[in-house]
Amino acid sequence: MEAVDSAIARLGTQRSELIALLQAIQAEYRYLPPEALVYLSQRTGIPEADITGVATFYGQFRLRPAGRHTVKVCVGTACHVKGAELTYEAFQRELGIAPGDDTDSAREFTVEKVACLGCCMLAVAVQSGQTIYANVTPSKVKAVIRDIRASADVTDGGVKGLRGQGVKGGGADSEAHPLTPEPLNPLTPPPPSPPPPARWGAAARL
């Protein structure tokens, strides 16, 4: 249990550090192994029931093994209207993930729904690592999976979309277009505010 010992060495054994300890353990294993929670209880003196209660209360923690890549499909309002559920189902179908599960049998991919990625203009938005994939329709899911696999050992980031017809309409040839960085348009600065109205009274000039 080197991961637990390392986390305790950095964070201590206080109950107030429990969430941080669990985050450190999950960062190492990609989930919280039962034996790690038992060992954590023994090292810190925090009851197992309390540790399990925290681990099951917060959605950030996993009690089942996760895949090497985590794919987050936004199902917020804008993405839902654009068909996020169909995109999510396409990921599960392409990866052979069994109904009711979120990870493929090879533990290569974990596919999760998230409430919002803050990218409403890119609906349906999908995130893997530090990369956001824009306008992901079911027909583009295969290309996204290929790109994630190809970028597995590369420090990536930014926003990606399928250039060409696939970006907007998800045409039949959308998968023929490689995924390339799709920069966001810079925000237009707001117009200057009008001057405040003059105050009527002794200080106002007529």
- Render each residue's pLDDT in the chain as its tens digit; 206 residues: 899 999 999 999 999 999 999 999 999 998 999 999 999 999 999 999 999 999 999 888 988 888 999 999 999 999 999 999 999 999 999 999 998 899 999 999 999 999 999 999 999 999 998 899 999 999 999 999 999 999 865 544 566 665 433 333 333 333 334 454 444 444 445 556 555 555 544 443 43
Cβ burial, residue 98 (10 Å; 0-12/13-18/19+): exposed
Q: What was the pLDDT predicted at 195?
A: 59
Do 51 and 40 meet the contact criterion of CB atoms below 8 Å apart?
Answer: yes
Q: What was the pLDDT predicted at 64?
A: 86
Distances (CA, A) of 35 to 4, 57, 125: 10, 19, 36
Pairing of strands 109-114, 131-133: unpaired
Q: Which residues pair with 70 in a beta bridge?
A: 110
> How is residue 109 annotated by DSSP?
E
Do 162 and 174 meet the contact criterion of CB atoms below 8 Å apart?
Answer: yes
Q: Among 129, 114, 136, which residue's Cα sits nearest to residue 67? A: 129
Q: What was the pLDDT predicted at 158?
A: 65
